[in-house]
Amino acid sequence: MFVETALRATAVQHLAAFSFSFSLPAPCCILSYLLLHVCHTISLNVAGRSFGIDYDSNCFVKDGKPFRYISGSIHYSRVPSYYWKDRLLKMKMAGLDAIQTYVPWNYHEPQMGTYDFFGGKDLEYFLQLANDTGLLVILRAGPYICAEWDMGGLPAWLLEKKSVVLRSSDSDYLEAVERWMSVLLPKMRPYLYQNGGPIIMVQVENEYGSYFACDYNYLRFLLKLFRLHLGDEVVLFTTDGASQFHLKCGALQGLYATVDFAPGGNVTAAFLAQRNSEPKGPLVNSEFYTGWLDHWGHRHSVVPAQTIAKTLNEILACGANVNLYMFIGGTNFAYWNGANMPYMPQPTSYDYDAPLSEAGDLTEKYFALREVIGMQLPEGLIPPTTPKFAYGKVCLQKFINLLGFFLFFSQYFGYVLYRTTLPKNCVEPTPLSSPLNGVHDRAYVSVNGVPQGILERDKSLKINITGQAGANLDILVENMGRVNFGRYNNDFKGLVSNLTLAQDILVGWEIYPLDIDGAVNSDFFYLLDHPKRSAVKALSYEVPAFYTGTLSIPGGIPDLPQDTYVNFPGWTKGQIWINGFNLGRYWPARGPQLTLYVPRNVLVASVPNNITVLELERSPCSTQACEIEFVDEPNINATLQHETDKPPLFVRELSMKHL
């Protein structure tokens, strides 16, 4: 997924949903004659299973026969494992041959040398389920994935070497990649198609031609590393924007070059770009966009089903292979969202306006695309949309101010407190500013516990504060997600440049990383007494604070718990946990997402469910009802006072020269 496509996607949204008929033969692209003659057969390997490329006949060959796939993207990291089977079956029933998934490195190696493949991270179980469902797998193994995922899947600990050049021949980077791949790829090898598993192809880099480094030695290193672990037979590939510009640095001899492009454009021209790099071989669109991503503060993206169906028809009429990105987008739980530049973090929902909604619901788009895929629909029933339940309102109580409750831990996600003292009296409002735009990404400022305002990367670089000399100046800095695309991928968090108070540089900081998830998951947290509610005058800002409450699932109703959505009437911005599970960020004050998806697997019916809300800015509790509400419908498309795209504070760098 890459930023410049946003421009195209926006164009797509503005296209009228012009009429066309499914029954009309789609205009076939000029390359199709290359594909119409019968592909040659190649001999089977020893195991009787083979997958490869027939360059003479411009097609893939599976078990000796010509093969074309229609695939859909699902990220196992964005769907609760409880629902993997349901979503895969819905994809199968849409007529797909294959699924495509990314492997987010930072999800599996949270600390250097510590690996996690358990529970919701059990990739092998996911692959097994795909195979059991009769779906092939296109594995995008990284190391870099983009994907609107924190730092494009690269672990933040790589930044401990400040000068690291990610996605290049930087020796520390390569060493980390080599170590990680020596853990991941041996696990994948038994799941390769020729070894009896579902994986037909493995991607080694992602849209590398959109990155500034253009380091062929790095691509050669990856090629060699993947061959070492996976053998010579598996098809290794790359994906790039469909233009010569992108393929120039993204493609490498020995890695099959595929392209990605949006609906509504010129399919022939797009595949001609692929033909520049691969004069022969199958045509492949590895990311055909079924919708588009969102950013906080911007309109929810919608792409009409008809636009997608029309271009999909054209792609299929070329005999090309295609992956629908996304088929189900899912959710950026916890802190996993990424961001684009100028700094725009993505919201918790990754619904993507995809054929299956964030919650796996069957949509109109699902049925429209299923009709296009048409000829190869499997027998059987489509699993129904799962029911949603409106559990209603839950009262919360203010529990404790964040700053009164420290638990420290070295960490890469969440919140860090910076504390110093005011060097002088600020009786009059005095500007506190970040002249070099070094607040990464949002800072909640208070003086001796009195909230002063918010600094925000690329948006708000100066506020006024007041206070006495010697007072504690507390700056709680939120990491809102690391940049996942382009040159700014090295996205350091915290205060990355000096703050000034009037003319003076502030010094003498104490820095406290706050292990909030650890705290929320400790019993101690819930056993503390709630303070008495006191009358507080309504301020425009309050200091960050925890609110807690419980949700009991009603008895006497069959099949509960069910999925639900949580709404935040009167709340501003923060994070919510249910039974310790971090559901993600809420930010109704900015939108477009108002409700968060709550999958049923985080709820229990036997005992009350513990809810913890960390409100960073302002709760409704001093002026209105102190409650959140569980509803049975999502709202991720609110039209608030959306920002028009303001010119960025930064001059765009040369890496963006193709924009």
Ligand X SMILES: *[C@@H]1O[C@H](CO)[C@@H](O)[C@H](O)[C@H]1NC(C)=O
Nearer to ligand X, 380 or 535 (CB): 380
SS3 category, 477: strand
262-to-96, 193, 326, 371, 650 alpha-carbon distances in Å: 19, 29, 12, 19, 28
**And the tokens for 71?**
């695939």
Beta carbon of residue 299, minimum distance to ligand X (angstroms, whole number): 8
393-to-400, 547, 562, 618 alpha-carbon distances in Å: 21, 14, 16, 19
Q: Using CB under 6 A, which residues numbered 159 to 198 contact ligand X?
A: 196-197
Beta carbon of residue 460, minimum distance to ligand X (angstroms, whole number): 8
- Beta bridge mates, 596: 566
Nearer to ligand X, 41 or 552 (CB): 552
Nearer to ligand X, 379 or 523 (CB): 523
Q: Using CB under 6 A, which residues numbered 35 to 54 contact ligand X?
A: none
Q: Where are the beta strands (DSSP E) in 55-118?
A: 59-62, 65-67, 70-74, 98-102
Stretch of 268-276, 388-396, 412-420, 569-577 contacting ligand X, by CB under 6 A: 268-276
Computed on alpha carbons and rounded to an integer, the radius of gyration of the chain in Å comes to 26
Beta carbon of residue 254, minimum distance to ligand X (angstroms, whole number): 27
Nearer to ligand X, 61 or 219 (CB): 61
530-to-19, 400, 401, 650, 654 alpha-carbon distances in Å: 60, 8, 11, 45, 54
Stretch of 105-113, 162-170, 265-273, 617-625 contacting ligand X, by CB under 6 A: 265-273
Residue of 105, 219, 215, 82 lying closest to 151 (CA atoms) = 105
Nearer to ligand X, 206 or 301 (CB): 301
Nearer to ligand X, 514 or 578 (CB): 578
**And the tokens for 96?**
């797909």
Stretch of 86-94, 401-409, 456-464, 615-623 contacting ligand X, by CB under 6 A: 456-464
Q: Which x/- pattern over 595-614 shows residues binding ligand X (rule: CB under 6 A)?
A: ---------x--x-xx----
Q: Which of 44, 269, 502, 625 binds ligand X (CB under 6 A)?
A: 269
Stretch of 180-188, 267-275, 369-377, 378-386 contacting ligand X, by CB under 6 A: 267-275
Report if residue 272 touches ligand X, rule: CB under 6 A: yes
- Beta bridge mates, 285: 259, 322
Contact 205, 238 (CB under 8 A): yes
Beta carbon of residue 607, minimum distance to ligand X (angstroms, whole number): 5
Q: Which x/- pattern over 496-525 shows residues binding ligand X (rule: CB under 6 A)?
A: -xx------x-x---------------x--
**And the tokens for 131?**
């195979």
Q: Which of 279, 392, 429, 569 binds ligand X (CB under 6 A)?
A: 429
Stated as kind and residue range, the H or E segment containing 464 is strand 462-467
Contact 509, 420 (CB under 8 A): yes
| Distance (Å, whole) CA 474 – CA 230 | 51
Beta carbon of residue 354, minimum distance to ligand X (angstroms, whole number): 13
Contact 146, 206 (CB under 8 A): yes
| Distance (Å, whole) CA 128 – CA 97 | 15
Neighbours of 647 (CB within 10 A): 8
Q: Which x/- pattern over 107-126 shows residues binding ligand X (rule: CB under 6 A)?
A: --------------------
Contact 595, 636 (CB under 8 A): yes
| Distance (Å, whole) CA 622 – CA 624 | 6
Q: Which of 526, 531, 538, 559 binds ligand X (CB under 6 A)?
A: 526
> What's 158's DSSP letter?
G
Cβ neighbours of residue 310 under 8 Å, at least 6 residues apart?
18, 20, 26, 263, 264
Nearer to ligand X, 498 or 601 (CB): 498
Residues catalogued as catalytic: 207, 287
Q: Which of 169, 268, 420, 490 binds ligand X (CB under 6 A)?
A: 268
Query: Count residues contacting ligand X (CB under 6 A)?
Result: 25
Nearer to ligand X, 151 or 272 (CB): 272
Beta carbon of residue 266, minimum distance to ligand X (angstroms, whole number): 4
Beta carbon of residue 190, minimum distance to ligand X (angstroms, whole number): 7
Report if residue 579 touches ligand X, rule: CB under 6 A: yes
Beta carbon of residue 424, minimum distance to ligand X (angstroms, whole number): 16
State how far Cα 191 lies from the chain centre.
25
Stretch of 12-20, 244-252, 405-413, 457-465 contacting ligand X, by CB under 6 A: 457-465
Nearer to ligand X, 232 or 523 (CB): 523
Nearer to ligand X, 638 or 656 (CB): 638
Beta carbon of residue 635, minimum distance to ligand X (angstroms, whole number): 7
Beta carbon of residue 604, minimum distance to ligand X (angstroms, whole number): 5
235-to-61, 129, 159, 230, 257 alpha-carbon distances in Å: 11, 22, 32, 10, 11
Residue 440: φ, ψ to 5° = -115, 95
Q: Which of 168, 472, 637, 655 binds ligand X (CB under 6 A)?
A: 637
Which residues contact ligand X (rule: CB under 6 A)?
Answer: 131, 134, 196-197, 266, 268-269, 272, 429, 462-464, 497-498, 505, 507, 523, 526, 579, 604, 607, 609-610, 637, 639
